Structure 1
Amino acid sequence: MKFIGIDLGWSSGASGLCCLNWENNQLQLVECDRLLATNDILGWLDTQISPTEPAIVAVDAPTIIANPTGMRLADKLTHKHFGRYHAGCYPANLSRPFAQKTVEFGLSLEARGFVHAPIMEAQKLGRYQIEVFPHPATINLFKLARIIKYKKGKLAERQQELMKLCQYILDVLPSLEPSLDLANSPTQNQRSPAFLGGSNLPAIPTSTATLKALEDQLDALLCAYIGAHWWYWGIERNLVLGDRATGYIVIPQGR
Structure 2
Amino acid sequence: MGFDSAWTDSAKAPGATSVIRIDDRGRCTFVPPSLVSFDAALAVIQTEASFSALRIVALDQPTIVPNLTSLRPVDRVAPSLISWLGGGVQPANRSKIGMFDDAAPVWRFKERLEATEDPEASRSASAGLFLMEVFPALALPSLGPAFCGRLLGPRYNPARRKTFKLAGWQAVIEVVRHLARTEAVDGLGEWADALAAVSIPKKADQDQLDAVLCALIGLHWQTAPREASIMIGDRMFGYMIAPASADVGARLKSAADKAGVSIDVENLGYSKRL
TM-score (norm 1): 0.80
Q: Given that residues 122 and 234 in structure 1 are in contact (C-alpha distance below 8 angstroms), is that contact kept between their aligned partners in structure 2?
A: no
Range with bigger deviation, 227-236 or 69-78: 227-236
Please tell me whether residue 134 in structure 1 is matched to residue 140 in structure 2: no
Q: Rate the CA distance shift 1:96–1:201 in 2: closer, same or farther, 3 A.
A: closer
Question: Aligned match of 1:10 in 7, 10, 24?
Answer: 7
Q: Given that residues 75 and 91 in structure 1 are in contact (C-alpha distance below 8 angstroms), is that contact kept between their aligned partners in structure 2?
A: yes
Q: Given that residues 134 and 223 in structure 1 are in contact (C-alpha distance below 8 angstroms), is that contact kept between their aligned partners in structure 2?
A: yes
Question: Aligned match of 2:209 in 206, 218, 221?
Answer: 218
Shift of 1:21: 0.8
Range with bigger deviation, 210-219 or 233-242: 233-242
Deviation digits for residues 159-212 of structure 1, max 9, x if unmatched?
33222211221124522xxx142xx328xxxxxxx931x756632242xxx611
Please tell me whether residue 116 in structure 1 is matched to residue 117 in structure 2: yes
Please tell me whether residue 91 in structure 1 is matched to residue 91 in structure 2: yes
3-state SS of 1:122 partner: helix
RMSD: 2.6
Question: Aligned match of 1:233 in 212, 224, 232?
Answer: 224
3-state SS of 1:67 partner: coil
Question: Aligned match of 1:106 in 99, 104, 110?
Answer: 110
Q: Given that residues 63 and 104 in structure 1 are in contact (C-alpha distance below 8 angstroms), is that contact kept between their aligned partners in structure 2?
A: no
Q: Rate the CA distance shift 1:171–1:211 in 2: closer, same or farther, 3 A.
A: same
Q: Given that residues 56 and 122 in structure 2 are in contact (C-alpha distance below 8 angstroms), is that contact kept between their aligned partners in structure 1?
A: no
Question: Aligned match of 2:190 in 195, 209, 220?
Answer: 195
Q: Given that residues 16 and 207 in structure 2 are in contact (C-alpha distance below 8 angstroms), is that contact kept between their aligned partners in structure 1?
A: yes
Q: Given that residues 75 and 88 in structure 1 are in contact (C-alpha distance below 8 angstroms), is that contact kept between their aligned partners in structure 2?
A: no
Q: Given that residues 150 and 161 in structure 1 are in contact (C-alpha distance below 8 angstroms), is that contact kept between their aligned partners in structure 2?
A: yes
Deviation digits for residues 33-81 of structure 1, max 9, x if unmatched?
112x322221222222349821100000012110000011111110134
Unaligned stretches of 5+ residues in structure 2: 247-274
Distance 1:79 1:157 in 2: 20
Distance 1:49 1:155 in 2: 42
Letter in 2 for 1:103: W
Distance 2:245 2:106 in 1: 28
3-state SS of 2:236 partner: coil
Alignment of 1:1-255 (within 5 A): 4-11=1-8, 12=10, 13-23=13-23, 24-35=25-36, 37-50=37-50, 53-97=53-97, 98-99=99-100, 100-109=104-113, 111=114, 114-120=115-121, 122-126=123-127, 127-143=129-145, 144=147, 145=149, 146-151=152-157, 153-154=160-161, 157-175=164-182, 179-181=183-185, 184-185=186-187, 195-196=190-191, 202-206=196-200, 211-233=202-224, 235-254=226-245
3-state SS of 1:49 partner: helix
Q: Rate the CA distance shift 1:7–1:44 in 2: closer, same or farther, 3 A.
A: same
Shift of 1:233: 3.4
